[in-house]
Amino acid sequence: MVVSELSIKVRKRLIREFLDFLLMLELKDHSMSGYTALSQIHSKYDYLVSSGTVYSLLYSLEREELIQGSVNGQKRVFELTTKGGKMINAVLAADGDLLGLVKNLIVSL
């Protein structure tokens, strides 16, 4: 397998595995609907994810009180809660540790 093909597969897997955090990062700066979140993930990461997956994750994050949804016209709009903001800030603060962990996992294979 060519390195670039492997890189693409790993990138897609990471996006899939961390999609909940990516959605929360998108909500960090502004609220958005599920459709907008879906579009943002597609345009920013060039990764097409199903609407069922995005909405399922959004509702799961809402049940965990990490985001909050409200009706705005005919759309349901989501925003990050204080609890969700603290979690995202903790993840962003630990980015060096997380990168080191991923590198160690890959090297140990």
Whole-prediction pTM value?
0.82
- The domain of 21 spans 3-108
Judged on CB neighbours under 10 Å (0-12, 13-18, 19+), 34 is buried
- Residue-level pLDDT at 63: 97
pLDDT band of residue 87 (cuts 50, 70, 90) is very high
d(CA 54, CA 32): 12
Angle formed at CA 104 by CA 103 and CA 108, multiple of 5 degrees? 120
pLDDT for 3 beyond 90: no
Kindly report the backbone phi and psi dihedral angles of residue 9, in degrees, each rounded to the nearest multiple of 5, phi listed first: -65, -45
pLDDT for 105 beyond 70: no
Average pLDDT, the chain: 87
Specify the CATH number for the domain of residue 101: 1.10.10.10
Q: How many domains does the chain have?
A: 1
